[in-house]
Amino acid sequence: MPILQLLTPTRYYLLTPLLVYINTGIFLIMVLTGPGFLTFDMNHWANFLGANVGFLTLDGQWWRLITSVFIHGGLLHLLFNSLVLLNVGMYLEPVVGRWLYSLLYVFAGIFASLTSVWWHPNGASVGASGAIFGLYGVFLALLTSNIFPPDVRKAFLKGTLVFVLINLGIGYMIPMIDNAAHIGGLISGIVMGFMLLPLIRSRLQRLIREGRIRMHQT
C-alpha cells in the first residue's frame, strides 16, 4: 500500500495516521527547542518533561510512563516506529475500532514503561515501540484464535511472529534498545487481546454483516 495512503485518515482508519502526526509534531518541537536531530542526548529527553527517567518516574512523576511513549530519540527512531505502527495499524484499527485501539495503545505503552522502570530503574527510555509491540501482541492474540478465517490467519500469523522475534533479537543484541519495554508491551497486548476477544469478535462479525469489512476464506 502506498505510504501516502497509509498516512491518510479515513472513517475506520483514523488514529494510526493521527498518532504518527502527533509523534512527528512532538519530534519537531524537540528539534526546535534544543540540540539534536538524528539523535538527542538524555538531558534533552529529561528536560523535555516526558522521558521515562527511572528515578524521576519513581519519585512521583508518573506522567512520564505515558508521555515517554510520544517522544523519540532521533529521526531514525521516529521513522522506524512510524513505519511499524502503520504496518500493524492498517489491519488492527479497523477490526477493533478507534476507541478500543486508542485504549490498547495507551495501556500497552504504560505497561511497557512500567516494565522498563522495573528492569532498569536508573535508566532512561523514550519511544512508541513498547506501545506498538502491544498492538502486535493484540494482533497475535487475535490471529491465534478463530476470529479470522483460516487463510487470513495463516497469511498474517507467520509474518507477525517473524517480525516480533527478529525485533526482540535485535533488541537483545543492541544494549541501547529497551527490550524490557518491548517485552512488557508485547505481553500486555497478548493478555488484552485474549481478554477482549469476545468484544472484538462481536464487532468484527457486525462489520462483516454490514459489508464494511470483507474476508476471504479457503
Which one from 72, 129, 188, 202 is the annotated catalytic residue?
129
Three-state SS annotation for the chain: CCHHHHCCCCCCCCHHHHHHHHHHHHHHHHHHHCCCCCCCCHHHHHHCCCCEEHHHHHCCCCCHHHHHHHCCCCHHHHHHHHHHHHHHHHHHHHHHCHHHHHHHHHHHHHHHHHHHHHHCCCCEECCCHHHHHHHHHHHHHHHCCCCCCHHHHHHHHHHHHHHHHHHHHHHHHCCCCCHHHHHHHHHHHHHHHHHCHHHHHHHHHHHHHCCCCCCCCC
Out of 72, 77, 116, 182, which one is annotated catalytic? 182
Three cell numbers written together for 56: 524521576
**120 counts as catalytic:** no
Is 182 catalytic? The answer is yes
What whole-number distance in Å separates Cα of residue 119 and Cα of residue 58? 13
The residues that are catalytic are 129, 182
